[in-house]
Chains A and B, each alone.
Chain A
Amino acid sequence: MQDFTAAFRAALDLVFRMDADLMEIVGLSLLVSGAAVTLACVIGFPLGAALGAGRFAGRMPLLVLVNAAMGLPPVVVGLTLYLLLSRAGPLGPLDLLYTPTAMILAQTVLVTPIVAAITAQIVADLSEEYRDLFATMGMRRTAQAATLMWDGRFALTTAVLAGAGRALAEVGAVVIVGGNIDHVTRVMTTAIALETSRGALELALGLGLILLTLSLGINAALMGVRAAARRLSDG
């Protein structure tokens, strides 16, 4: 119990001092994970819509693949990306290893299957309900997809939240491709891992509490927006 009290105190202390290093780390975490989730949505929404409502050869295998990819181990993603981005690797000339861009890429790979799979499920359920209506209206596939995505918009926030949770919480991928370089690629989770290895368990746990609070705040905000919007436009 003493450890938890100390952790709580460490967290409060960091927050109330507006510790510059902490602010930088939190900022980078939000930047990296935010960018990754945004990219994942740009890819995952259309992919999920196609998988959920599309009719094309290879749809089922692809759906199985995307569902399985939700469980991709971050370490494997990090290692694969490391081998690609390493100066000795095929993408070496881009010189992206140990940059926030590499971290964004890694998290995008992790989050995209989650967004796509949840989107596919939501769109498939809605598509089932709307299929005959769409057919009688003679709607094109693209118009159908747009309608399904718009009508599923509240449910789709779940996809975004699940993706954001994964991105903010993972450490295995970003520590490999980011390198946990101070002031360059250090984020909340890699900082927690570092403090743990230093034996500074209270500080590590304190950082963990801050991460948890951030995550809670993001979830509460998005769900609040969803509830308010839903009251205005859907029964």
Chain B
Amino acid sequence: MVEPDRLIRLAHTRPTLTQHPPVRIADLYLQRGGQYILRDITANLGLSDVTAIMGPNGAGKTQLLRLIAGLGQPDSGTIKFAWPDAPEKHRIALVFQRPVLLRRSALANLTHALAQYGVTRTRRTARAMELLDFGGLTDRANIPARALSGGEQQRLTLVRALGAAPDLLLLDEPTSNLDPRSTAAIEALIQRATAQGVRVILVTHDIGQARRLAKDILFLQDGQVAEHSPAPQFFDTPTSAQAAAYLRGELYL
């Protein structure tokens, strides 16, 4: 097993995040086809290891995550990143709900990504093998990536994202299509990443997953923030009627 500090480059010491939220979203609006998908979103994220974005279908979770990732521009409002010791330099990696993999071997997918992240040619293969090991995929190295099982594919995209040595890892329902065993493997990977200082923002529908991983919950309803609370408070005594109904499994109309 690789030493954690070798695997993920994370120079930043842990600051007092409550005072220096790394992701600050202010007055965010996003329109699609004349309708607001996101409205007046103001939130500080990345305050804890894992922030979960929850909410019913169509609440705007994925759109918010994509804006944070830089995929698209809001109609108004700002998203600012500030790592206290390196305010300009930060890396964001995004894992999609459905794995997007190149038509190459698992290993080649990683070396390709590492090339984009600026890893020199001589070090790429060794680094890729470390990542495969981290994802428990060493024996799958030379298999075409798209021939891997669904769980293996998602683990591969996850370690590919970690190959960027991100400060912030964005996950869009990474386990929604996976069986429990694969889900457990992904969650273990997420926890190992956070243990090394990576901040995670996770969009999920899975209340159990949010309970297991998240420290704070941002709850969206109809494109608006209905509630943003620490996880224990959110699950035990939700303050918003929308979140309460969602947790009870009821439809809030």
Chains A and B share a contact (CB less than 8 Å): yes
B104 near A: Cβ within 8 Å?
yes
B145 touches A (CB below 8 Å): yes
Q: Does chain B have a CB within 8 A of A57?
A: no
A147 part of interface (Cβ distance < 8 Å): yes
Task: Name which of A48-56, A95-103, A129-137 contacts chain B.
Answer: A129-137
Q: Does A61 contact B (CB under 8 A)?
A: no
Q: How many residues of A contact B (CB 8 A)?
A: 17
Q: Report if A138 contacts B (CB, 8 A).
A: yes
A 106-165 contacts with B by CB, 8 A? 129-130, 132-133, 135-139, 143, 147, 150-151, 154
B residues within 8 A CB of A136? 69-71, 92-94
Contacting pair A235 B100 (CB below 8 A): no
Question: How far apart are the CA atoms of A73 and B144 in the complex, in Å?
Answer: 42
Q: A138-B116, A233-B105 are in contact. Are A133 and B100 (CB under 8 A)?
A: yes
Nearest chain A residue, comparing its CB with the CB of B115:
A143
Q: Shortest Cβ distance from B15 into chain A, in angstroms?
A: 25
Given the interface contacts A132-B96, A136-B93, A138-B116, does A234 sit within 8 Å of B104 by beta carbon?
yes
| Distance, CA A95 to CA B145, complexed state (A) | 54
A227 to B144, CA, bound (A): 14
* Bound CA span A234–B144, Å: 5
Residue from the list A132, A135, A151, A154 in contact with B102, Cβ < 8 A: A151
Across the interface, name the chain B residue whose C-beta is closest to A137.
Answer: B116
Across the interface, do B71 and A235 meet the contact criterion of CB distance under 8 Å? no
Known: A143-B116, A235-B145. A151 touches B94 (CB 8 A): no
Q: Which residues of B contact A147 (CB under 8 A)?
A: 102, 112
Closest B residue to A129 by CB, please name it.
B100
Q: Closest chain A residue to B108 by CB distance? A: A233
Q: Nearest residue in A to B91 (C-beta to C-beta)?
A: A138
Q: Which residue of chain A has its CB nearest to the CB of B146?
A: A235
19 residue pairs bridging A and B, Cβ less than 8 Å apart: A130-B102, A132-B66, A132-B71, A133-B96, A136-B69, A137-B113, A137-B117, A143-B116, A147-B102, A147-B112, A150-B104, A151-B103, A154-B103, A233-B104, A233-B144, A234-B144, A235-B103, A235-B146, A235-B148
B: residues with CB less than 8 A from A are 66, 69-71, 92-94, 96, 100, 102-105, 108, 112-113, 116-117, 143-148, 164
